[in-house]
């Protein structure tokens, strides 16, 4: 395929990291959000049911309602998430359309990866968030009960550097991400020889 090869895909995967601090004064337009959601049309889907839908949040008012319902970086017990001037410029709320059933197999993760890769190509970054107040979120955004929120994807222009660290090979190796005094976020990844079982 034109301009796409394994090495460029690998580089994209390596640099597509979770970011939790953003340029807070840089909103993300609905046009961009729609473009990102459009990518999900091309994802695989169990039974090809395509039951996931997205709610776009980018107004200041709605962002302020969503932010307090999110739990950021569980390992950072002394950090309450991004400061006011570091918050995401938008959110996508991934919802299961229950009309098509009560589960979506692994469609959710596949779509989130597609969206975050797309974000990365546009100079954006973000954080997939599962730890949020599902009930309150549906309430503040007025989401119809037919649509069940599964994930919140925080999106913005990145304002932190993330570094991959090779994890040790032993079973007890520490997989917790950490931040160093220079502000860099470090994310340990298991070495390839520990991923292959034969
Ligand atoms: C299913 C899933 C749920 C996650 N939930 C949260 C969350 O609630 N809060 C958060 O700050 N990060 C969350 N994350 C982000 C992970 O912490 C992050 O992916 C992990 O630290 C690895 O970093 P990386 O994405 O740069 O590889 C979640 C990621 C996934 C895939």
CATH of the domain at 182: 2.20.180.10
As given in the structure block, the two tokens for residue 112 are 């989130």
The answer to whether residue 1 is domain-embedded is no
Closest ligand 1 atom to residue 189 Cα is 27
- DSSP-derived pairing of the beta strands 147-156 and 162-166: unpaired
Q: Residue 1: its pLDDT value, please?
A: 77
The pTM is what?
0.98
Burial of 84 (0-12, 13-18, 19+ CB in 10 A): exposed
Question: Does ligand 1 come within 6 angstroms of the Cβ of 130?
Answer: yes
User: What digits encode the pLDDT tens for the residues 12-60?
Assistant: 999 999 999 999 989 999 999 999 999 999 999 999 999 999 999 999 9
Largest CA distance in the chain: 53
Centre of ligand 1 to C-alpha 1, Å, is: 31
Question: Does ligand 1 come within 6 angstroms of the Cβ of 127?
Answer: yes
Query: Which residues form the domain of 182?
Result: 161-198
Residues 170, 133: one domain? no
Q: Which of 159, 174, 189 is the last residue of a domain?
A: 159
User: What digits encode the pLDDT tens for the residues 171-188?
Assistant: 999 999 999 999 999 999
Q: Which alpha helices (DSSP H) does the chain contain, by range?
A: 6-15, 30-39, 60-66, 107-121, 134-141
């Amino acid at each position: 395929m034109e301009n796409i090869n394994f090495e460029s895909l690998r580089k994209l995967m390596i640099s597509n990291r979770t970011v939790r601090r953003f340029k807070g004064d840089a909103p993300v337009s609905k046009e961009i959000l729609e473009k990102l959601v459009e990518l999900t049309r091309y994802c695989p889907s169990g039974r090809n049911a395509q039951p996931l839908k997205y709610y776009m949040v980018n107004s200041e008012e709605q962002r302020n309602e969503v932010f307090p319902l999110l739990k950021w970086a569980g390992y950072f017990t002394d950090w309450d998430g991004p400061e006011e001037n570091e918050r995401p410029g938008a959110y996508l709320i991934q919802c299961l359309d229950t009309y098509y059933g009560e589960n979506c197999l692994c469609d959710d993760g596949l779509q989130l990866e597609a969206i975050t890769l797309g974000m990365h190509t546009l100079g954006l970054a973000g954080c997939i968030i599962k730890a949020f107040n599902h009930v309150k979120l549906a309430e503040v955004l007025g989401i119809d009960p037919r649509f069940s929120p599964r994930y919140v994807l925080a999106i913005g222009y990145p304002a932190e550097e993330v570094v991959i660290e090779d994890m040790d090979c032993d079973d007890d190796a520490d997989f917790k991400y950490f931040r160093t005094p220079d502000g860099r976020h470090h994310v340990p990844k298991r070495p390839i020889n520990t991923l292959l079982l034969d």
